[in-house]
A = this chain, B = another copy of it.
Amino acid sequence: MRQESKNLSELSERVLKGDRSAISKAISAIENRDEGSDNLLKRLFPHTGHAFIIGITGPPGTGKSSLVDRLAKIYRSNGSKVAILAVDPTSPVSGGAILGDRVRMLEHSLDPGVYIRSMASRGDEGGLSRAARNAIRVMDAAGNDIILAETVGIGQAEVEIVQVADLVIVVLMPELGDEIQAVKAGLMEIGDIFAVNKSDLPGSDKVIYNLESILSSKEEWGQSSIKVSAKTGEGLEDLVALIEKYRKIFGSSEAAKKRKLVNLSNELVRNVSFVLSQRAEESLRAGRELQGVVSKVANRELDPESATKILMEAVSNEANSHKHASTTRRSTRRRS
């Protein structure tokens, strides 16, 4: 225990100095929920708040990764310390070959001053969201000026991740299919800047025109749209100027403060839900009730909603007996 806390304190010191292998170690420990990782986060958290966090999301195939690379290069050339978190919708089976490629590609194209980290969902979206947010916090504590957090804008977890950001860029492109349009619709609420990438393709002016008409109908503070091409570089300096303008005007506003509180509040509620779900699942899988109830439903002696209620009872009785046990233990200790 003593050894562990010494290691932790050493690791957190190294993270605060920006040591890359320490950052990687810390993120892995937090992602795997290793023993002591909560304490590590506790040490690092007071040192967060320096970085400007840019969330980048959008439908699949719109060129988010290339845009992230371009932005990283521009910020690096301005002398900023930059970190990238790339979250990919990889499955447990495929194991993350695509991620590996991505990281290799980035390592070639970027200077070593950019810290890159990938994370895959492995089907556990609640856990991913939590791990990704905490990874961003480690990057922040490590003294990065700009953190680019990239996710595919589909699925609740992915959208939640970018909501930790100070600024959200939604990347779109001309010629999206119907289903992609639906995905896009879901992103209209969370974007600050809508970057229409692949501006060399026909139809990008129309996309901007449609976006502007949607955005102008909203009562909120300025969301804006811009045409870019990660391929040719067109519009990228303008995008950075827009980001910086936004950072100056919005960054210290009351609206920004309020948004941070709402996001934090959502994050904590979601964490609690996630832990409760996990505990319930563990308790059900370990208990005897589940199998019996399932076979009754399979035989149509019991419907799924009634079965859910029976299992709810089982879980809360279980939790209750634990609660009682721990209360008793605690009061005994107090008395002695």
Q: A: which residues have CB within 8 A of B?
A: 38, 41-42, 45-46, 48-49, 59-61, 88-94, 98, 123, 125, 133-134, 137, 152, 154-157, 177-183, 185-189, 260-261, 264-265, 267-269, 271-277, 280-281, 284-285, 290-291, 293-295, 297-298, 300, 303-308, 311-312, 315-316, 319-320, 323
What are the residues of chain B within 8 A of A133 when measuring CB–CB? 304
Q: Would you call A264 and B297 a contact (CB within 8 A)?
A: yes
CA distance A272 to B48 in the complex (A): 36
Residues on B with C-beta less than 8 A from A38 are 305-306
8 chain-A/chain-B pairs, Cβ below 8 angstroms: A89-B183, A92-B189, A154-B155, A265-B290, A272-B281, A272-B312, A273-B276, A275-B308
Most buried by B among A94, A304, A323: A304
A166 CB → nearest B CB, Å? 13
Asked if B41 contacts A183 (CB within 8 A), the reply is no
Decide: A48 near B300, CB < 8 A? Known: A60-B177, A155-B154, A316-B319: yes
Q: For residue A300, which residues in chain B have a CB less than 8 angstroms away from its CB?
A: 45-46, 48-49
Name the 9 nearest CB pairs between A and B, nearest first.
A94-B185, A91-B186, A273-B277, A45-B303, A60-B179, A155-B155, A61-B177, A271-B308, A154-B154
When distances are taken between beta carbons in the complex, the residues of chain B under 8 Å from A280 are 269, 272-273, 276
With CB as the reference atom, state the residue of chain B lying closest to A317: B323
Contact present for B268 and A311 (CB under 8 Å): yes
Q: Which residues of B contact A284 (CB under 8 A)?
A: 268-269, 272
A306 touches B42 (CB 8 A): yes
**A94–B214 Cα gap in the complex (Å)?**
11
Q: Is the beta-carbon distance between B298 and A264 smaller than 8 angstroms?
A: yes
In this complex, the member of A125, A134, A179, A187 whose beta carbon has the largest number of chain B beta carbons within 10 angstroms is: A179
- Asked if residues A185 and B268 are in contact (CB atoms below 8 Å), the reply is no
Q: With A and B bound together, what is the CA distance between A92 and B307 in angstroms?
A: 30
Q: Report A192 CB to chain B, min CB distance, Å.
A: 16
A138 to chain B, nearest CB (A): 12
Of listed A156, A157, A182, A306, residue having the most chain B CB within 10 A: A182
**Of B49, B182, B290, B323, the contact of A316 (CB 8 Å cutoff):** B323
